[in-house]
C-alpha cells in the first residue's frame, strides 16, 4: 500500500490511542450511563444547599435534594490550570510537570509519560462520545496562554454548549465549563481596562453581568475574618453572588434539557467547581478557601436523594470514578480512587494539594489534609505571602487591601496575610478554625499531630515524583530540550490481512484517522475499509507538536 501524498492541516479535531487494545464486549453494553460534568469556575461552597444564607441557587439546591452532596471535596490546586491538569489525568499536576501556573510562561508544555492519557480520551476509546464546551487548560500546549486547545485526540467535539443530539444510541461524556463565576467576572462591570487582557475580557464581563437576575445587597454578605470589613470588599463579594445566581440558572437549563431529551434517568450528573473562590487569599492558595469545592452527584439507581457524604474526595478521583462507571479500565498510574458507584474504593487518610509558580512569581507550597486538620509547608518561607500578581491585583478589594497594608492601616487578622515572611509550617483545626487563621504549630498540645502530618507529607513528596521541587528550567529542558518543542512522528499506514494498521514511531503518540474526509475517529485497533477508501491520519504525543497529516488510498482490485 503506497502513500499517495502528505499535507499540513490546522489542529481542529480528534485523534486516537494506537497503544490500546480493543475493549471487551461488555464494556460496550448499552446500559452504560451518560456522564455530564458541569464545572463552574472559581467557586467555594457558596451554595444554598451548603447552608449559605446569601446564595440564590434554586437549581443546584434541587439537584442536591435529588442526589448526593459531598461535604469534603477538594481540588489538588487552588488555581485553574494545575487543578484541571490533575483532573484530566487523574494524577496530581506536579507528578507529571504541570504544576506551575501556567507552564507556557516557562517556555514549555507539560509532557506526561508516554503511557499517560487524559481520561476523556480513554472514555472515547471505550466507545463514548466525548464533548467539551470551551475551556481546557490542561497545560499540554502553549497557544492562547494554554487556556484553550490541547491534544485534539481527547474530544469528538469541542466548543459545544451541551450534548446536542448525542446520548440516544451511544453514551456520551460531556465536560461543560460555566465561566460566569470566574475571578474576572467579579471586577466591576465597567471598570477601566488596565491591560490588553482586561480590555479583551471587558465585553465578556458586560455580557455576563447582563444576565444577573438580582443584585445582592453588599450589607448582606458575610465577610471572612481575613478581609477587612469595608464597602469595597462587600461590593466585590456581592458581585460574586450575582454571578453565582446567573450560573445557577445555566445549570437549570442544562438539567431541563436532560429531561426534555429523555436522558435524565440514564445520565450521571456531577456539578462542581474547578477550585475555590476567585477572591484574594482563596484562589491560588492551598487553604480551604482555595481548594474546598462544592460537589453534588445525581446518579440514578446509585445515589440516594438528599443524602450527604462526609468522605474526603480529591479532584484526581474524578478520572477513575468516571472510567469505572463507563466500564473502562483504570490505568495503574492513576493516583485517585473510585469515590462512588460500583467498585467504590475506601476513603484515604489524606489528600494533598500544591502551589507552585503563580504567573510571574515563583512559589512552592505543599499541603496535606485529613477530615479535620490541614498541614501546610511553605518551602520558600523568606518571602511575603502576598506576591504582586498582576491579574489578581485588578480586583478592587485587592487594591484596597494592598493600599491599607502599605499605609500600616491594615491590622488584626487581615494583616496576617500581608506579613513580610511566612511561617514555614502551619497547622489548622478546620472544625474550630474553618478560615485557617490560627496556626497551631508550636503549641505543645498539637506537637504529635504536626509530626504525624509532617511525616505524611514527606512520604507523599518522596513517592509522588513531585517535579515541582525541581528548578523550572530543569523541567523545561526535560520536556523541550534546548527550548525546542519536539514533533510527533508521522504515522505509518499499512495493510495486513485486509485490515488497516496505523503506527507512529513516537512512543506514547495518539493516532487518529478520517475516512473519505469524514469525521475524525480514534484509532484503537486495526480496522477494515473498502477498496478505494481514502484514509487521512495524524498523530500527537501530548505536549509535542502534532505530526503532518498523511493521506493514502486503499488499492482497488
Q: Which residues are catalytic?
A: 80
Cα three-residue angle 266-246-144, rounded to 5 degrees: 85
Classify residue 190 as exposed, middle or buried by CB count within 10 Å of its CB (0-12, 13-18, 19+).
Answer: exposed
Alpha helices in 408-506 (DSSP H): 413-416, 447-463, 472-479
Select from 65, 87, 70 the least CA-distant residue to 322: 87
Give, as one character, the DSSP assignment of residue 137: -
> Are the CB atoms for 91 and 116 separated by under 8 Å?
yes
**Residue whose C-alpha cell is 480513554:** 122
| Helix (H/G/I), strand (E/B), else coil: 206 | helix
- Phi, psi dihedrals of residue 397, rounded to the nearest 5°: -65, -30
The three cell numbers of residue 225 are 475574618
Distance CA 241, CA 254 (A): 20
DSSP lists the bridge partners of residue 267 as 34
Please give the Cα distance from 540 to 228 (Å, whole number): 50
- How far apart CA 177 and CA 180 sit, in angstroms, is 9
Name the residue among 296, 34, 294, 271 with its Cα closest to residue 174.
34
- The CA distance from 113 to 119, in Å, is 14
Provide the H-helix boundaries in 196-287. 196-209, 231-260
CA-closest candidate to residue 188, choices 198, 200, 177: 198
Q: Tell me the three cell numbers of residue 524.
A: 484503537
List of residues 6+ apart from 412 with CB closer than 8 A: none
* DSSP-derived secondary structure letter, 183: G
Longest dimension (CA), the chain: 86
How does strand 34-40 pair with strand 172-178?
Answer: parallel
Q: What angle do CA 180, 184, 189 make, to 5 degrees?
A: 85
**Residues 6 or more apart from 359 whose CB is under 8 A from it?**
101, 102, 105, 389, 390, 391
Q: In whole angstroms, how far apart are CA 278 and each of 78, 121, 228, 239?
A: 9, 29, 17, 12
CA 60 to CA 50: how far, in whole Å?
A: 10
Amino acid at each position: 500500500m503506497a502513500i499517495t501524498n502528505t499535507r499540513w492541516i490546522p489542529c481542529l479535531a480528534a485523534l486516537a490511542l494506537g497503544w490500546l487494545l480493543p475493549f471487551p464486549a461488555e464494556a460496550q453494553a448499552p446500559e452504560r450511563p451518560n456522564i455530564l460534568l458541569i464545572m463552574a469556575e472559581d467557586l467555594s461552597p457558596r451554595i444554598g444547599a451548603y447552608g449559605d444564607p446569601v446564595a440564590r441557587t434554586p437549581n443546584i439546591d434541587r439537584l442536591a435534594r435529588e442526589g448526593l452532596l459531598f461535604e469534603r471535596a477538594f481540588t489538588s490546586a487552588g488555581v485553574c490550570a494545575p487543578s484541571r491538569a490533575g483532573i484530566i489525568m487523574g494524577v496530581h499536576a506536579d507528578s507529571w510537570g504541570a504544576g506551575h501556573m501556567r507552564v507556557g510562561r516557562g517556555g514549555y508544555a507539560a509532557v506526561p509519560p508516554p503511557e499517560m492519557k487524559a481520561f476523556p480520551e480513554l472514555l472515547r476509546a471505550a466507545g463514548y462520545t466525548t464533548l467539551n464546551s470551551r475551556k481546557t487548560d490542561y497545560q499540554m500546549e502553549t497557544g492562547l496562554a494554554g487556556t484553550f486547545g490541547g491534544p485534539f485526540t481527547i474530544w469528538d467535539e469541542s466548543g459545544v454548549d451541551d450534548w446536542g443530539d448525542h446520548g440516544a444510541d451511544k453514551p456520551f461524556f460531556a465536560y461543560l465549563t460555566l465561566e460566569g463565576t470566574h475571578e474576572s467576572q467579579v471586577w466591576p462591570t465597567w471598570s477601566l481596562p488596565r491591560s490588553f487582557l482586561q480590555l479583551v475580557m471587558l465585553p465578556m464581563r458586560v455580557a455576563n453581568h447582563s444576565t444577573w437576575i438580582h443584585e445582592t445587597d453588599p450589607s448582606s454578605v458575610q465577610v471572612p475574618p481575613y478581609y477587612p470589613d469595608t464597602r469595597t470588599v462587600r461590593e466585590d463579594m456581592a458581585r460574586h453572588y450575582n454571578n453565582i445566581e446567573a450560573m445557577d440558572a445555566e445549570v437549570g437549563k442544562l438539567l431541563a434539557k436532560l429531561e426534555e431529551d429523555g436522558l435524565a434517568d440514564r445520565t450521571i450528573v456531577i456539578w462542581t467547581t474547578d477550585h475555590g473562590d476567585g477572591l484574594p487569599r482563596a484562589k491560588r492558595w492551598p487553604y480551604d478557601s482555595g481548594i474546598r469545592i462544592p460537589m453534588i452527584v445525581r446518579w440514578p439507581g446509585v445515589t440516594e436523594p438528599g443524602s450527604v457524604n462526609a468522605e474526603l474526595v480529591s479532584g484526581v478521583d474524578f478520572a477513575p470514578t468516571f472510567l469505572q462507571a463507563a466500564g473502562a479500565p483504570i490505568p495503574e498510574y492513576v493516583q485517585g480512587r473510585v469515590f462512588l458507584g460500583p467498585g467504590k474504593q475506601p476513603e484515604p487518610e489524606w489528600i494533598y494539594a500544591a502551589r507552585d509558580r503563580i504567573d510571574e512569581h515563583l512559589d512552592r507550597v505543599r499541603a496535606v489534609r485529613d477530615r479535620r486538620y490541614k498541614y501546610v509547608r511553605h518551602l520558600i518561607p523568606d518571602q511575603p505571602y502576598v506576591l504582586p500578581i498582576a491579574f489578581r491585583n485588578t480586583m478592587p478589594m485587592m487594591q484596597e487591601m494592598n493600599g491599607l497594608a502599605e499605609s500600616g492601616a491594615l491590622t488584626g487578622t487581615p494583616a496576617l496575610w500581608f506579613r513580610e515572611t511566612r511561617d514555614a509550617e502551619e497547622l489548622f483545626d478546620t472544625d474550630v478554625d474553618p478560615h485557617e487563621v490560627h496556626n497551631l504549630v508550636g503549641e505543645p498540645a498539637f506537637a504529635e499531630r504536626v509530626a504525624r502530618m509532617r511525616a505524611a507529607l514527606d512520604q507523599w513528596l518522596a513517592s509522588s515524583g513531585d517535579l515541582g521541587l525541581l528548578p523550572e528550567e530543569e523541567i523545561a529542558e526535560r520536556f523541550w530540550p534546548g527550548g525546542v518543542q519536539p514533533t510527533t512522528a508521522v504515522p505509518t499506514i499499512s495493510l495486513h490481512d485486509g485490515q488497516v494498521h496505523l503506527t507512529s514511531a513516537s512512543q506514547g503518540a495518539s493516532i487518529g484517522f478520517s475516512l473519505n474526509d469524514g469525521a475524525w475517529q480514534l484509532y484503537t485497533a486495526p480496522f477494515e475499509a473498502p477498496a478505494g477508501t481514502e484514509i487521512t491520519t495524524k498523530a500527537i504525543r501530548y505536549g509535542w507538536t502534532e505530526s503532518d497529516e498523511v493521506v493514502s488510498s486503499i488499492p482497488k482490485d
